[in-house]
């Protein structure tokens, strides 16, 4: 991943420094990372897979 990627915190992440997820739009993909570990692993998904995961999480 290049440093010029624009990461943004998910709107549903806790604002108190707790569990936070950041997402970034890539060409043909969506990247997800833990904001507490910005240099750690990243999950890179197709946009349709990212939408499916988000929908599944909303139904939990």
pLDDT digits 0-9 by tens, 9-32: 867 666 666 678 899 999 999 999
Q: Which residues contact 28 (CB under 8 A, 6 or more apart)?
A: 46, 47
What span, in angstroms and rounded, lies between the C-alpha atoms of 30 and 24? 6
* pLDDT (0 to 100) of residue 20: 84
Mean pLDDT of 37-51: 95
Cβ(47)–Cβ(32) under 8 Å?
A: no
Six-digit token string for 32: 């997800």
Over 60: is that where the pLDDT of 1 sits? no
Q: Is 47 strand, coil or helix?
A: helix
pTM, two decimal places: 0.76
Task: Report how far residue 57's alpha carbon sits from residue 27's, in angstroms, rounded to the nearest whole number.
Answer: 24
| Residue 51 tokens, joined | 């939408």
């Amino acid at each position: 991943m290049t440093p010029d990627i624009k990461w943004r915190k998910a709107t549903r992440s806790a604002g108190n420094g707790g569990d936070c997820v950041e997402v970034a739009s890539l060409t043909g993909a969506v990247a997800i990372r833990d904001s507490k570990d910005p240099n750690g692993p990243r999950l890179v998904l197709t946009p349709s897979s990212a939408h499916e995961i988000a929908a599944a999480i909303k139904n939990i």
